Structure 1
Amino acid sequence: MTETREGVVETAQGRVRGQKTGAVWSWMGIPFAAPPVGPLRFRAPQPPRPWTGVREASRAAATAIQPGTFPAPLDGLFNQRSEDCLFLNVWSHAADGRKRPVVVWIHGGSYETGSGDGYRGHLLAEQGDIVFVSINYRLGALAFLNLRGLFDDERFDANVGLLDQVAALRWVKENIAAFGGDPERVTIAGESAGSGSVVSLMVMEAARGLFHGAIAQSAGLTLTTDWEDSLRIAQEFAGQLGVGRDTRERLWQLPASHLLRAMHATKKTRPEGFMTRPYFDGQVLPASLEEAYARPTPDVPLLIGSNLDEHRYFTVLRVPVLPLTRARLANTLMIRLGAQPADELLRLYPDDARGLTDLGSDLSFTMPSIHFSERHVRHAPVWRYRLDYPSPLFKLGAMHALDLFLLFPFPSLVSRLLLGRATPELTALQQRFQRHWLHFVREGRPGDGWPAYDLEKRQTLLFNLSDQVVSDPQGERRRAWAGRDAPVR
């Protein structure tokens, strides 16, 4: 199957017409699953419906409805939002059968906000001669609400937002060759909740064989909650709607606007924490964090890391998604680990602004990322990084999501605010970050100057205006955590 002059490509479901900008073609808003509406609300995604004629794919389609607790980086705010949101976008040099490496980007946004449309892949596709795919998936209560457990009703499926991602990967496996991509060289990549999705896919049986490399930027398995917490959230949500066991049929009948209001109301009961998100269910995911860590991950290369000052994004900008204060962070540790281990860890962090940043960053991002790395590296190659370059805006430092602005072509004004003036040194940092990232997608390793991680030296590349390789950064704190993780609440 080859590209025509009009950019028409034939997929398994029908033909799509894209558009060319510069050296790269794009095909936007391609459905990878049936619309999850009506009786398919709260159900696992179903195969996409075929169409006749040529489907225009020159603009983004609807994104997932979402409560919008904060703006994920340029999450397609101007696009229509709908329950019918299971679409993806493809960027490629040409649909010419060359079998280019493929990357599937999974957006972040706390599993509550965001879209694949905010991440335009044309520059990465052009620079790396790869095929870039960005995907939507269901969010919030329509994706990660444990109604199945609450009502003991099999008409509600578990973790359908993750199953949406699996459906997108299946579509890629079946169709990406038509766009000039190689279905046997697919790398999954994501940041924040997207990174949490990547590591979740690595422990999901349903995702086995659908990808051949992984990039996880700023998250580990602890963004997933436990069964008991998921039931509490589901109960609160149902209570906001006045729905009980005997009236649960209403959940298929209520308009999406009512569900959004219930999401907002439920969020207010958790002022510094996640609302709906993936949960350990024993079916889609393992039954617990311990079982997830015990499950063998696939033998694929992994590029993984975090930013030095992750937590500062939430405290400085007052984003109420994670615990923002030392007291709330300490409470999370105590619930998960017990009083004595929590006190031992807290002693490592001074009761000041620097200590709060380090504690929040380690709890939510750095240590879970390291712990996942150290399990995976026992049987597959791993490369670790840490972004140390500080944003000059509001003393945000190397905050959460800053790496996205090194990787993607966001509007220049936003990038300049967050990254600072485009000096030759900053431009060189962006180029190095992109070059290593693309080299990993193409070759399964990030290239020269970045040694692999192992359990002896723990070499990590620290990205800054001048990069350096350091053995076991934050080693004292890593040893103190000793594999102990506390799911974020």
Structure 2
Amino acid sequence: MTDPTHARTRGGPVVDTGYGPVRGTDDGAVRRWLGIRYAAAPTGELRWRSPQPPARNQEVTHATAPGPVCPQLTDPRIPLDLGGRQGEDSLVLNVWAPGGTEPGAGKPVMVWVHGGAYVLGSGSQPLYDGSVLAVEGDAVVVTVNYRLGPFGFLDLSEFNGQPGARGLRFDTNVGLRDVLFALQWVRDNIAAFGGDPRRVTLFGESAGGGIITTLLASPAAEGLFSAAIAQSSPATSVYDAQRSRAVAHQFLERLGISDDEIWKLSGTPVPDILTAARQVHDAVPSQSPGLLAFAPIVDRELVPDYPVAAAQLGRTHPVPLIIGTNEHEATVFRWMKSPLMPITPGALRSMFAAIAAEQPGLQLPTEAQITSAYTGLRPKAIGLGMARDIGFRMPTLWFAEGHSAVAPVYLYRFDFTTPMLRLLRLGAAHATELPYVWGNLVAGPKDPTFKLGGLKHGRAVSERMRRRWVNFAASGQPSGAPAKRCGGPTGARTAPPC
């Protein structure tokens, strides 16, 4: 370990990790280490393999700028600032700590898994800048990149040992394995950044929340985190091997690669992979509304069972959990006209039937029971409510109910919105809680969220949410000032343990 004070005089704090020393920055308020490599580049024969340790670097690596982000299916309707250029050598993470934090300080650790339907996003998005959480929460914050889309959630394992593979091998769920590998890096290295490896809270939203509910049911994650927060987790969007193989064959057909040519995949250009993946990504939910082309699968190894089923059998890791949804989850999908969250009656029936067929052990309500919950609403409101509940709210409640048998569970619903989002008929839509969790409320001059007001109330809601999240990371309990209504029909509520 290089002495932090000495390192600061030479340009920034240096920490010696298991893979070599890294130099960050310290502005007095917060220390940052950006783009730290936690695994070898997953290229060539490693493209669809479990993450591997990188070679140790003897020289000091400058961790002062975000690293590459995973190649992905960008969507012009979602103009994300990914925080870095796209490239396969993207298995990096970022660390923030309060200014002056010394090695061994033992601060709580918060590890973020970003969302994006398993095909979009990065841990380096400006929205996920951990400065506010680290300083105000007196915590060490980590954000992680993991492989996305066909690179992280395409199951090609049926070709292992086949002549057409010519020795090339494929692992399942490599995106999940990336997150596990990053958690192992945190366990082994975070004390040198001032974090406590025994107090690690894994938190994430949407696909990131889905990864968290999946890892809660994965034996491989045992001991790697002590608490979890799952925001808008699509907990039932985990599929079986038969369906995942059908997706793989669609992908190979679009790519023009036969079973005898599987060996070519290690050298297939990234643009070609993304073009084929885009076609499959669009085709699958059009054929089966609500289903994702690329998502975790039950491989009977890393993921031995469906996460909701495992939770209901009491087979999740006994760590405290915050889990919840937003009041208007489905509105942003309506705005995008996305088949990932259908709102027509026929598509909703198909989506619900797919869950029932995929996970027959679930005790699902009948159609009559479902429709009775939406009496008196307009048809569009019924569709939005059912889409929200089938896609997010019901899976959240099923998982929470099961997990509460092994550990404390805290349910929440995020209701806060702004005048502009109400005008746009979005309300408390999917992902709108993210700026409040991170304390990064204004994304830039083009951000319309607060153009019609609401920033004062938004800051109050953000302060309350951050306090609960960081207190949960520190103690396992989301303590904070009692929630109260703020600015009319808005607010964020947290319920007692289930």
Mapped to 1, the partners of 2:316 and 2:308 lie a distance apart of 14
Tell me the amino acid that sits aligned with residue 243 of structure 2.
D
1:471–1:214 CA distance, 2 compared to 1 (3 A): closer
Q: Is the 8 A contact 1:282 1:288 kept in 2?
A: no
Map of 1:454 onto structure 2: none
Alignment of 1:72-471 (within 5 A): 74-76=80-82, 79-93=84-98, 94-118=101-125, 119-149=128-158, 155-270=169-284, 271=286, 273-288=291-306, 291-293=309-311, 294=313, 296-337=315-356, 341-349=366-374, 350=377, 352-391=379-418, 392-393=420-421, 394-408=424-438, 409=440, 410-413=442-445, 416-417=448-449, 421-448=453-480, 465=487, 467=491
Confirm or deny that 1:68 pairs with 2:95: no
Moved more, 225-234 or 363-372: 225-234
Moved more, 114-123 or 46-55: 46-55
Q: CA deviation at 1:445?
A: 0.7
Q: Is the 8 A contact 1:70 1:319 kept in 2?
A: no
1:290–1:63 CA distance, 2 compared to 1 (3 A): closer
Q: 3-state DSSP class of the match of 2:200?
A: strand
1:22–1:72 CA distance, 2 compared to 1 (3 A): farther
Q: CA deviation at 1:95?
A: 3.6
Moved more, 336-345 or 431-440: 336-345
1:470–1:22 CA distance, 2 compared to 1 (3 A): closer
Q: CA deviation at 1:100?
A: 0.5
1:101–1:326 CA distance, 2 compared to 1 (3 A): same
Q: Is the 8 A contact 1:72 1:113 kept in 2?
A: no
Confirm or deny that 1:39 pairs with 2:45: yes
Tell me the amino acid that sits aligned with residue 204 of structure 1.
S
Mapped to 2, the partners of 1:204 and 1:158 lie a distance apart of 13
Residue 21 of structure 1: which of 11, 16, 27 is its match? 27
1:372–1:163 CA distance, 2 compared to 1 (3 A): same
Q: CA deviation at 1:329?
A: 1.4
Task: Provide Cα deviations, 1:220-267, integer angstroms capped at 9, x if missing partner.
Answer: 421212222212211100111122321111111211111111101212
Confirm or deny that 1:57 pairs with 2:63: yes
Q: Is the 8 A contact 1:25 1:92 kept in 2?
A: yes
Mapped to 1, the partners of 2:225 and 2:80 lie a distance apart of 27
Mapped to 1, the partners of 2:466 and 2:109 lie a distance apart of 15
Q: Is the 8 A contact 2:24 2:64 kept in 1?
A: yes
| Ranges in structure 2 where 5+ consecutive residues have no aligned partner | 163-167, 358-363
1:217–1:163 CA distance, 2 compared to 1 (3 A): same
Tell me the amino acid that sits aligned with residue 34 of structure 1.
A
Kindly report the root-mean-square deviation, in angstroms, between the aligned alpha carbons of the 2 structures. Answer: 2.5
Tell me the amino acid that sits aligned with residue 432 of structure 2.
L
Tell me the amino acid that sits aligned with residue 151 of structure 2.
L
Q: CA deviation at 1:319?
A: 3.6
TM-score (norm 2): 0.86
| Ranges in structure 1 where 5+ consecutive residues have no aligned partner | 451-460, 473-489
Tell me the amino acid that sits aligned with residue 409 of structure 2.
V
Q: CA deviation at 1:21?
A: 3.2
Mapped to 1, the partners of 2:485 and 2:92 lie a distance apart of 34
Q: Is the 8 A contact 2:414 2:492 kept in 1?
A: no
1:91–1:365 CA distance, 2 compared to 1 (3 A): same
Tell me the amino acid that sits aligned with residue 11 of structure 1.
T
Q: CA deviation at 1:396?
A: 0.3
Mapped to 2, the partners of 1:448 and 1:136 lie a distance apart of 31
Task: Provide Cα deviations, 1:325-363, integer angstroms capped at 9, x if missing partner.
Answer: 332111111344379934542443356121111101101
Task: Provide Cα deviations, 1:286-339, integer angstroms capped at 9, x if missing partner.
Answer: 244565333511121111110011011100233443334332111111344379
1:462–1:429 CA distance, 2 compared to 1 (3 A): same
Identical pairs, percent: 36
1:101–1:12 CA distance, 2 compared to 1 (3 A): same
Tell me the amino acid that sits aligned with residue 172 of structure 1.
V
Mapped to 2, the partners of 1:320 and 1:226 lie a distance apart of 21
Moved more, 36-45 or 152-161: 152-161
Tell me the amino acid that sits aligned with residue 367 of structure 1.
M
Q: 3-state DSSP class of the match of 1:240?
A: helix
Mapped to 2, the partners of 1:366 and 1:155 lie a distance apart of 38
Q: Is the 8 A contact 2:69 2:87 kept in 1?
A: yes
Q: Is the 8 A contact 2:216 2:316 kept in 1?
A: yes
Mapped to 1, the partners of 2:328 and 2:207 lie a distance apart of 17
Q: Is the 8 A contact 1:218 1:400 kept in 2?
A: yes
Q: CA deviation at 1:16?
A: 0.7
Aligned residues: 461
1:12–1:275 CA distance, 2 compared to 1 (3 A): same
Q: CA deviation at 1:422?
A: 4.1
Q: Is the 8 A contact 2:410 2:495 kept in 1?
A: no
Q: Is the 8 A contact 1:43 1:157 kept in 2?
A: yes
